[in-house]
Amino acid sequence: MDAPPEAQPAERPRNAAATRRRLLDAAAELFAERGYERTTVRAIAERAGANQALLFRYFGSKDGLLTEVVARGSLEQLHATAPEDLFETALRSMLTRSGSGADRSLEVYLRSVGRGDEATGTLRELGGEYQKVLAGLTPSPDGALRADLAMAWLLGIGLMRTVAAREPLASADPETVCRLVLTTMDRFWTLPSPPPPGPEAG
């Protein structure tokens, strides 16, 4: 278990802001590569070129750092994107994760969910926020179910492409994947709800 090392002298504001950004960037990379549980505070600090004490000073804990990584990525994307564009934006972000400056927060989610009790609350909150927005895309009373199904497909694509690296999906052209998936999703939100099951025959 990572414990806070002894406190260090305070940084100047400009240096503090730069160090904070480096820690967030390093954490995002390592959480995406290794998952939450397997990423240590020491490794994050080393990649950021910072002292571990500064990580605890700025974020309080590894869980606090995860919260900020997710907030900077997925929650920021969620609040800045029109609901009707959210699924496509999230899909494209995940498919092009290797680009310079690419948002890797969904990959962090994939590699971290279920990997540590500390991370669970943050990740559950993220899933709930996405569900609420996506459920509003359909007038159907089963909107929450449809939102969960859409998220399951999105995260399943991410799991197969970035975590399992299963071919041919792992190396498929992002535009091809988007065309196939989004064509189906356009109809998904407008499909009428199936009628409730009738009474069982006696």
> How many CA atoms are closer than 13 Å to the CA of 139, on its beta-carbon side?
2
For the record, the structure tokens of 35 come out as 């998952």
Spatial contact of 156 and 90, defined as CB atoms under 8 Å apart: no
pLDDT tens per residue, range 54-110: 999 999 888 888 878 877 777 777 888 999 999 998 899 888 865 444 566 666 766
Q: Which residue, chain included where needed, has tokens 């299963």?
A: 166
pLDDT tens per residue, range 2-55: 655 555 445 555 688 899 999 999 998 898 788 788 899 999 999 999 999 999
199/202 Cα distance (integer angstroms): 9
Residue 116 CB neighbour total at 10 angstroms: 17
